[in-house]
Chain A
């Protein structure tokens, strides 16, 4: 790390590297007459060179971003146990096939007869996701999980409207990811938080009480929930909702826990988004792009967004003629590049590999749970599936909080677990190892966590001052928010 720290001292912003007259590109010869824009466009609508854009060479750019890359921790280097985020290995064959010119360069507005391969690929992915979920159909359009939630909730709203009903409320357990309530609101609903049971699971009695009012449109629930525990009452909950004319929205962020084992379709889900960038290994890219296809039950099929890929014999079309549709939710048809990678992953794993993926993810999480129980407190002790949630209550006695444990883990060469939720756990450490890790990597993580637990008892200040070995130490987040500096400006500006 000392070497990269030195590079860090030398590597400023790209704008600070600028040196007059350097260029990092060459265009082909113009070949046609130059045109003075002022001869075609009113002068008042034009601009000249943009002040502040850098002048750098290709070498400068290569070095700059290569150096930046070295200040990142990444999955390629080691375990990345962010709970709920499912940071699993990103196979390189997927990166290879997505770059085939016939896929990467394809324009979305080419006529259907020119894009049969792309449409066939999308149709195949939809069939695969139907197989994995047991649902009726799947829209591939949403760009991310939250976008999928919104799409699903818009379909539920439309289905109610088609029945001549307006129901304003959506029930959401207090253990839910923050996107659930946000998405419900942007679909025009009011959210009602449902407190979890003492076991951290869905409170069926509370759901029943709310359903009595007749104004509940849906329940949004994550299965397994954010504690990594399967919701034991999910089938009953679905039946209760359906009996009252309400819908079950299932957040599929944790679908990887039971692929090949169980089907959301059998659980009674009406809509389920699938984070392809979690369960199906498309890379997270430092914050996207993701893809959040939504699988739906028969009841919501008429309301799927347009277009849908349809097959007629051996021909595929983009179908827009769907009278009950919610309309379009984005430009074009989906994050196609992510769809390509996900289908490649599904093909590589096959039916047995997908099941073994879920088994490996669950076994790895349970192994960590067994090895770390005692050193860290387990606030809810239901059976873990793909992730396990500890808290910092043992360490808090010595003044060491989850964030301190997280920062100290960086010194041991691991990315920390998720800490920001579930909100029902104070000081959460949500650990999701995924099936990618072997026992040696898990043991190294356990050793680091145990060492930190010991340090928290014996040298709490050491943990509270971490990290020590990273390119920067703890950053002043309060200052960043109080005096926002959100862009570079020339020092004399």
Chain B
């Protein structure tokens, strides 16, 4: 899987070369957070409806959702098992994004691609997912280093 993963990560740019595995991981991560966001979102929308009747309710709900989403992600990270499952699911989804982009790249090369934008959209999604994954990885490493620097 490691070689494949690396290849998948690279594939993000179109060829998806290095970033594949990392991107897959990151994608999974992002997905998990996104799922948490969804649950929080419904709550946020409900809260928004109850408290604000104004037309600005949608924006308010969105802001609420964003705020609550962040809280939800932190809560999920607090429990080890849930976070691991979240991460695994997210990685799997990133892998899916990468492989679909790779398949479309092959189609483009062989002339079987019917819609040009399909490949461009797939590669953009894979790229974004990879960026998200690396961002999360960087943040996690940052947090770990911060804790390791702690004076005992």
Q: Do A and B bind each other?
A: no
Spell out B's residues near A (CB within 8 Å): none
Spell out A's residues near B (CB within 8 Å): none
